[in-house]
Amino acid sequence: MTNLSLADLAGYLRQLGEGALITLELFFASFALAFVLGVLIGVATLARSRVIRAAWRVYASIFMGVPSLLVIFLIFYGGSAMLAAVLGEFGARIDISPFGAGVAALGIVYSAYVAELVRGAIENLPKGQFEGARALAIPPFIMWGRVILPQVMRLALPGLVNVWSFMLKETPLVSLAGLQDLVAATKIAAGATKEPFIFFVATALVFIAFSAASLWLANRLEVRLDRGQRRAPVRSPAQAEA
């Protein structure tokens, strides 16, 4: 049925494995960047300053409106020139790798979505949570870290899981800037062996497996963040008497 030797297959599978590792590294790095940047931006946009709000609107409309692929190309092909302009003559010429461009581009694009989620969740928190913390003289930095953000994470979790899934599916775009990720390796193997079906389906299964693992993890996390949220069971009069 297939004229693929076992030795060849093993070789291609090894390449696919290496590609998968790069895809995962890219994904985790860009999600971490999107998360940190998004939380900071989300908190900052609540400031009453008009300048900050205007800046946020520009940021959101650019990165939610422009295709991710364009942002990747912009950073990959234009990033060196931009950095050189910012750093001036003093900065050595910095070449941007496909991996770096991918992390920066996906991180920045999805930070806008994370910021939107965080901002919405903060606005949905009762004002009393802030007042309770302020009345106890809890310093602002600790109020955010210990009181507000843990609750925000619980509210934003379903949205963050969506961002997580979308980002994973967008990672192959970076292969168009030359990154040898899972999809790039699959394409090479499929072309060389003339067995596109086997390799593309195998790669699809890898994405599905990772996605399933993510959902399982998200459920665990939800249970953990939900602690303390269950209402007290209603006691029947008989129990109350006892």
Contacting positions for other proteins (CB under 8 A): 126, 128-129, 131-139, 142, 146-147, 150-151, 154, 225, 227-232
Greatest Cα pair distance in the chain: 82
Query: Please, which residue, 17 or 150, has the CB nearer to other proteins?
Result: 150
Q: Helix 6-44 crosses helix 98-124 at what angle (to 10 degrees)?
A: 40
Q: Considering the complex, what minimum distance in angstroms separates the CB of residue 55 from other proteins?
A: 25
Q: Considering the complex, what minimum distance in angstroms separates the CB of residue 57 from other proteins?
A: 26
Q: Considering the complex, what minimum distance in angstroms separates the CB of residue 77 from other proteins?
A: 45
Two tokens at 220?
């665990």
**DSSP per-residue letters across 172-226:** GGGGGGT---HHHHHHHHHHHHT-HHHHHHHHHHHHHHHHHHHHHHHHHHHHHHT
Query: Please, which residue, 194 or 230, has the CB nearer to other proteins?
Result: 230
Query: Please, which residue, 20 or 122, has the CB nearer to other proteins?
Result: 122
Q: Considering the complex, what minimum distance in angstroms separates the CB of residue 140 from other proteins?
A: 9
72 in Cβ contact with 176 (< 8 Å)? yes
Query: Please, which residue, 93 or 227, has the CB nearer to other proteins?
Result: 227
Nearest-angstrom CA–CA distance, 9 and 52: 55
**161: amino acid identity, one letter:** V
- Sign of torsion, CA 222 228 232 233? positive
> What CA–CA distances, in Å, run from 149 to 46, 60, 221?
14, 21, 15
Q: Which of 26, 23, 1 is nearest to 184 (CA)?
A: 23
Query: Please, which residue, 50 or 127, has the CB nearer to other proteins?
Result: 127
Nearest-angstrom CA–CA distance, 104 and 33: 8
Q: Considering the complex, what minimum distance in angstroms separates the CB of residue 178 from other proteins?
A: 45
Q: Considering the complex, what minimum distance in angstroms separates the CB of residue 233 from other proteins?
A: 9
Query: Please, which residue, 11 or 158, has the CB nearer to other proteins?
Result: 158
**85: amino acid identity, one letter:** A
Two tokens at 200?
């593309």
Query: Please, which residue, 8 or 131, has the CB nearer to other proteins?
Result: 131
